[in-house]
Structure 1
Amino acid sequence: MNIILLILIIIILIIIALKTLQILRPYEKGVVERLGKYNRTVESGLNIIIPFIETLRKVDLREQVVDVPPQEVITKDNTVVIVDCVIFYEVIDAFNAVYNVVNFYQAITKLAQTNLRNIIGDLELDQTLTSREMINAELREVLDVATDKWGTKVVRVEIQRIEPPKDIVEAMSKQMKAERFKRATILESEGYKESKIKKAEGDKQSTILAAEAEAEAIKQVANADKYKEIAVAEGKAKATEITYNAIHTGNPTNDLIAIKYLEALEKVADGNATKIFLPTEVSGILGSVGGIAELFKEDSKGVKILEGSSKEMQIDESNEKTE
């Protein structure tokens, strides 16, 4: 009997010790009530609580998530969309979180649904689908202000889904395909235009380079012909000068000049022409040569004819030009 009583006493002492010594984790705070009245807020670690007189209510300070259920919302252009979101919050004041709201989860869920209807109701469907960041920011601001007295802070709000009706989705899909086809056609035409422009510029540049090359070639050929003609002219001038000097240095006689003159006439007559007209002064030159003058005779018309040649040479008394 004594053993049973001793065991009971030990059990009671253990229970009292557990009630007295309360350990809070680093992410927790505790609200201590004494006889049903708020007494103090305790921090993490080992805390002593008077058993059966004081009670401890733990508050989690970690960031938590509230999943707002999907709901139907009507946009400004009378389109029904299904929207749901998630809310991330954390407790910053344990006292207000315990005493200012009964069911925080339900309260913030209803508050989020109500404000979500208000925000999306002011937007058209296209704005609703493309303005998620704006909706998130505006809803977070509204919820943060509303939950401030609950000792909590709304960290962020994320829209999970905005689902329009099926017929709207099909129409949007067709519109998207048409828009993409339009962009593809525009890009293709711009690419074709760009390729044609590049090709035309390339052909133009090629033509210009070919023309410049041809002009440079013509210039080089012209310079070469010019140099050739100058060289030939200089050679002829040099040869003429040498011949002239040689003739004057040799002091030729009239007989020699007459013979050279006849040799030149023979070369002149060695052509396709059948008649060659010479001035009358030729007879004076030819008369200076004794034996040669007898080769000429005068016809009835007063024209002197050179005999012994295969071609007929007539001397015009009127000094006509050679035909």
Structure 2
Amino acid sequence: MIETIIIIVIFLVYIAMKYVKILRPYEKGVVERLGKYNRTVSSGIVVLIPFLENLERVDLREQVVDVPPQEVITKDNTVVVVDCVIFYEVVDPFNATYNVVNFYQAITKLAQTNLRNIIGDLELDQTLTSREMINAELREVLDEATDKWGSKVVRVEIQKIEPPKDIVEAMSKQMKAERMKRASILEAEGYKQSEIKKSEGDKQAAILEAEGKAESIKKMAEAKKQALILEAEGESMAIEKVYAAIHEGNPDDGLIAIKYLESLEKIADGKASKIFLPFESSGVLSSVAGIAELFKEDKKE
């Protein structure tokens, strides 16, 4: 009796373990009854009819497919090695279960085929610089193809595009030459700018020097002008005072003659051997003679 109860308990535990399922939050289940699709169940406890129903779990989380590296020929007949990764998620458990046998293999082959088509239309330089375009185009193609498999391709990332070694070496030399060219251009441009700045500096210095000289000459001329004006004003004032003094003293012919003789003395004091007197000096000399006669008369008296 006890053995029978033990057998029944073991059987019930087996039935419970096999036909009572617990689905996680990221899972859904496809239930088949007698080999036919019956229903799709969500997360939680699922009780199946023993021996009649079967449950197929479907993971709804985003998953990754690593596409193996492959050789692809570009438009300009260059062989490159390309590999990529595909991120996808199941959106329809029914189609994901019944419309594809091996999703991993199917999407891998599909990705490799479309990579050949996409890169085959591009030249090597475009292939190396157009990863975003390749990613977007490949994702669009794969998403359209996997729609009937109940899956959605979220994104595609090209991991590596590797040209042949000789191409890499040639590209390296080209890059080095391009950098040297840019360095030479920058150096020449720097020298040009330096010379321009130097010329502008010399120009500004020359302008400032010329302006300084002009200002100095202007000030010197102004000072000389003021000196001449002051000198002329002084001479004018002196002449006016002399003229006023002469008129106030009421000079006669004798005084004028004496001053004339003093002037003649100064003239004769020079080193010249000949002295030219104006024609009017004869009248003055006669006056001098008259003055001399006056002095003689005064002595006789």
Q: Same fold (TM over 0.5)?
A: yes
Equivalent position SS for 1:276:
coil
Task: State yes or no: 1:34 paired with 2:33.
Answer: yes
SS of 1:278's equivalent in the other structure is coil
Q: Secondary structure at the match of 1:30?
A: strand
Equivalent position of 1:314 in the other structure = none
Instruction: Find the aligned partners of 2:190 and 2:125 in 1 and give their Cα distance.
Output: 32
Greater displacement, 259-268 / 151-160: 259-268
- Give, in whole Å, the separation in 1 of the partners of 2:146 and 2:175: 41
Check conservation: 1:19, 1:50, Cα contact below 8 A. no
Q: Give secondary structure in 1 for the equivalent of 2:87.
A: strand
Answer with 205-214 or 8-17: which moved more: 8-17
Moved over 6 A (4+): none
Q: Give the aligned partner of residue 23 of structure 1.
A: 22
Query: Which residue pairs with 2:168 in the alignment?
Result: 169
Q: Which has the higher helix share?
A: 2
> Is the CA contact 1:287–1:293 (under 8 Å) kept in the aligned structure 2?
no
Partner of 1:248: 247
1:56 aligns with 55
Q: Are 1:279 and 2:271 an aligned pair?
A: no
Q: How far did residue 272 of structure 1 move? A: 2.7
The one of the two structures with greater contact order (alpha-carbon pairs below 8 A, sep at least 6) is 2
**Alignment partners' CA distance in 1, 2:288 and 2:219:** 54
Aligned match of 2:238: 239
Q: Provide Cα deviations, 1:102-126, integer angstroms capped at 9, x if missing partner.
A: 1000000000011111111112222
Instruction: Tell me if structure 1 keeps the 8 A contact 2:254–2:291.
Output: no
Q: Which amino acid aligns with 2:155?
A: R
| Residue ranges of structure 2 left out of the alignment (5+ in a row) | 294-301
**Structure 1 SS opposite 2:49:** coil
User: What is the number of residues matched between the two proteins?
Assistant: 293
> Once the 2 structures are TM-superposed, how far is the Cα of residue 13 of structure 1 from its aligned partner?
3.4
Q: CA-to-partner distance for each residue in 1:95-150, whole Å, 9 max, x for gaps?
A: 11111111000000000011111111112222222222221111111111101111
| Structure 1 residues without counterparts, runs of 5 or longer | 295-323
1:1-323 aligned at under 5 Å gives the runs 2=2, 4-19=3-18, 21-289=20-288, 293=292
Q: CA RMSD in A?
A: 2.0
Q: Quote the sequence identity (%).
A: 76
| 186-195 or 111-120, which deviates more | 186-195
| Worse-superposed segment, 43-52 or 229-238 | 43-52
AA in 2 matched with 1:210? E
TM-score (normalised: structure 2): 0.89
How many Å separate the matches in 2 of 1:49 and 1:60? 19
- Letter matched to residue 119 of structure 1: I
Cα distance 1:256–1:160, how it changes in 2: closer, same or farther (>3 A)? Answer: same
Equivalent residue number for residue 297 of structure 2: none
CA distance in 1, matches of 2:270, 2:50: 154
Letter in 2 for 1:150: W
Letter in 2 for 1:254: D
